[in-house]
Chains A and B, each alone.
Chain A
Amino acid sequence: MEDKSNSRIKKGKRQLKVHFPKNGGYRTLIDHFKINTEMYPTLKPTSSSHLASLLIETDQNKLSFINNLKLIDQETITLPEENENLTSFLKLFESALVINDNSSWKKKQVRELIRKTKKNKAPMKKVNSLFRDNVPTSGAINLIQSREELDKLFVKLETLETLPKNLIENNVFNTYESCQILIHERGKPVIDNFIYDPHGKLSNSIIPVKNFNSIYSLIKKSKNKLFNQSNILKEDLGVVGTFLAKEIDLKNHAIVLIISRNAFLLPTEYELNYFNEIVQLLSPLLENLLIKEKALKKIRNIKLTLDNFPFPTSIVDKGSSSSNAIFSNQFSSADNLDQDYRHDSFQINDETELIIGRPDLSTNSSDIYHHQRVSLLGELLNTLQHELSNPLFGLKLSADLLKMDSSDSEISQTLTEVADNALRCQTIIKNFSYLYNDESSLTKVNLLNLTKETITLTKSASRQIPKKIKTMGFDDDDDYFITLNPTWISQILFNLIINSAQAITLHSEEKISQNSIEVFLEKTPLNINVSVSDTGPGIPEELIEQVSKPFFTTKDQGTGLGLSICHSLANKLGGQLQFKNNKNKKGTTFTLNLPRVGN
């Protein structure tokens, strides 16, 4: 070689991008330059010149082989394949690497070298920058080797979670070991974090938004998208060493995609550009995937809600489509239509409406709890009555029999008492059976007797409390007969007396026996009024509206349904139930007003 210049070997750098074709003089180069391949794990033959990954640098005639981004502007030199040419080539090569002040002459040398290696290859494109302002330039598409490669990547992508794995499996990134994707749904406080690690395992974690935001803005600011872990030293990054990262800005999401060799070798320019391009092309696909996943999640949540509601429920979802989707649970089937339901609808948000059906207590269909309680007790009393009735009758008959034989007046009298008491037992049972008549039938009952019997039933709760019955407006004993459903009246009375008794027992400041409960039966031209009043603590002002609501209770035990049942029974009787706290004395008075209709 002519060496016109002063060939001073300076300290400095001279870079050449070298491509080793698959069957080329790779080994020769290695041997010639005595390259320690362990130090350069990426030094290997590649099929395409685009994928040339080696950069040779001289520093005081010492050669080192590294990767360097700036080489993007460099033309690539391909080592010849045949051995004979290789040696001369290498000599050329070596000299080309010598730094000289007259760089123009050296450039000529390099060009010469390149020309020698070009053969019949098409001129390679100079790629300065593939992206300007995030918009791919015309040269970009060429990086993607083939349409098939691209399709392969996209087709496999069913959910976002599989993206890291698919990227790693791509040819370009086959030296890469881990890939991480962070997905932030705007407005949510947490981030979905998927890491595909070198062992082939996909792990998922949730990280707070704060961490994500700092990573995101750093990545966004960076121009070349190449990072070193020291830039962003965060525990949430599943990569080690240098990595490529790109942010994706979608309508409802912000995504960060990170890929790394987990080593300290820098990615090549090619890899960087390929990465950027892939991400660019992926963005609309990711957007669609996310929308789809969100819709599926919403449907799953709707179904879960419906399955757990114990009464007929429907959810109307307006969503993004023009028609409404209606989801109903199993209670809304036609089988339930024979029960009366009221429908309440609630607007949950702009898209979703909740419709709940609940049993209509104000119709003729019985209140479920009341019905159950009554029918069980009714059964009990029925059985009791029939079982006891025969022996009691037998007792009476036997006593009567003895009476017939006896001439002794004292014996006769005693036997009469036996007979009478046996009869009395039977009457008691019979009367109580009337109280729990299941059918909503009208019976003529003696209100006063019914009241007395009901009070007897409350004995266990009201034992120590003195009770009295007052009446007004009834002419004679017969006047107490009214036609109504005795079960309902006695149930209301029973509940009211029990409530009063409990109020006194639990909250009275004085001794229990100094309180009292009074039942007042009043007949007016228009109504028959039944009142229960007590001397307990009364109902606090703020609770007055609430006490009649179902399930409201201030007690530890009980269902909280007592008063609401009383109200619905009062309605069924055609009357109404009211209450107020007693003005002068303590306590509360509940009044059941029953309009007289032919009574």
Chain B
Amino acid sequence: MRNILLIEDEPLIQKSLQKILEKKGAKVSVESSGKSAINTIMANDFDRIICDLMLQDTTGFDVIEESKKKYSLADISKIFIIITAYSSPQVHEKASNYGCKIISKPFEDMDKAIEAFLGEESRQ
């Protein structure tokens, strides 16, 4: 059972994505703001953290930075998946600095995206 944290502030996306993933058998927690997300990350262990870049109070990158206190860089690249509507070259470059995967919103290929979220190739 995958333990997934979804950090997304757009309510409709949060709700639908959570439900979709739960239907696929995952356990999904949600956070709307970066600050509370960081607290949750520190307090819990997740197999996957799906993080939107544009949050109300911070950016997804700030959350990842904070997570470095808990996870190694290698783990970060495995655990975090960034989703965003802003897929400019600069964003891609920054994401590659962390070694994370980026999926653009809207998902061109829904199934592929879901697969990545649930991805078997996490730890180990």
Contacts and interface: CB of A to CB of B under 8 A. Distances in A.
Interface of A: 385-386, 389-398, 400-401, 404-405, 422-423, 426
A389 B105 contact: yes
Contact of B13 (A397, A423, A426): A397
Contact of A398 (B12, B23, B85, B106): B12
A398 B10 contact: no
Interface string B40-69: 000000000000001000000000000000
B124 interface: no
Contact of A396 (B10, B85, B106): B106
B105 A398 contact: no
Interface residues of B, number: 17
Interface string B70-91: 0000000000000001100000
Contact of B106 (A386, A401, A405, A423): A423
B106 A426 contact: yes
30 contacts: A386-B54, A386-B85, A386-B86, A389-B105, A389-B106, A390-B12, A390-B13, A390-B85, A391-B10, A391-B12, A392-B106, A393-B10, A393-B85, A393-B105, A393-B106, A393-B107, A394-B12, A394-B13, A396-B106, A397-B17, A397-B20, A398-B12, A398-B15, A400-B16, A400-B110, A401-B20, A404-B20, A404-B23, A422-B106, A426-B106
Contacts of B94: none
A352 B15 CA distance: 76
A255 B105 CA distance: 88
A397 B12 contact: yes
B19 interface: yes
Interface in B1-37: 10-13, 15-17, 19-20, 23
A393 B20 contact: no
B85 to A, nearest CB: 4
B77 to A, nearest CB: 25
A393 B86 contact: no
B23 A389 contact: no
Q: Which 7 A-B pairs have the closest CB atoms?
A: A394-B12, A397-B16, A390-B10, A389-B85, A393-B106, A394-B13, A398-B16
A393 B13 contact: yes
A401 B107 CA distance: 14
Contacts, number: 49
B46 to A, nearest CB: 21
A394 B85 CA distance: 12
Contacts of A405: 23
A393 B113 CA distance: 14
A392 B11 CA distance: 12
B91 to A, nearest CB: 13
A278 B18 CA distance: 108
Given A400-B110, A404-B20, A404-B23, A394 B86 contact: no
A422 B13 CA distance: 13
Given A393-B106, A394-B11, A394-B16, 14 more contacts: A389-B85, A389-B105, A390-B105, A391-B10, A393-B85, A394-B10, A395-B12, A396-B106, A397-B16, A398-B12, A398-B16, A400-B110, A401-B23, A405-B23
Interface string B102-115: 00011100100000
Contacts of B86: 386
Nearest to B110: A400
A255 to B, nearest CB: 77
A391 B9 CA distance: 11
B19 A401 contact: yes
Contacts of B106: 389, 392-393, 396, 422-423, 426
A385 B85 contact: yes
Contacts of A404: 20, 23
Contacts of B16: 394, 397-398, 400-401
A405 B23 CA distance: 9
A433 to B, nearest CB: 11
A442 to B, nearest CB: 13
A389 B87 CA distance: 12
A400 B10 contact: no
A400 B17 CA distance: 10
Nearest to B17: A397
A385 B54 CA distance: 14
A390 B16 CA distance: 12
A290 to B, nearest CB: 70
A385 B107 CA distance: 15
Contacts of B19: 401
A312 B69 CA distance: 58
B98 to A, nearest CB: 23
A394 B14 CA distance: 8
B107 to A, nearest CB: 8
Contacts of A396: 106
A389 B12 CA distance: 12
A391 B105 CA distance: 11
Nearest to A426: B106
A462 B23 CA distance: 50
B3 to A, nearest CB: 21
A395 B12 CA distance: 8
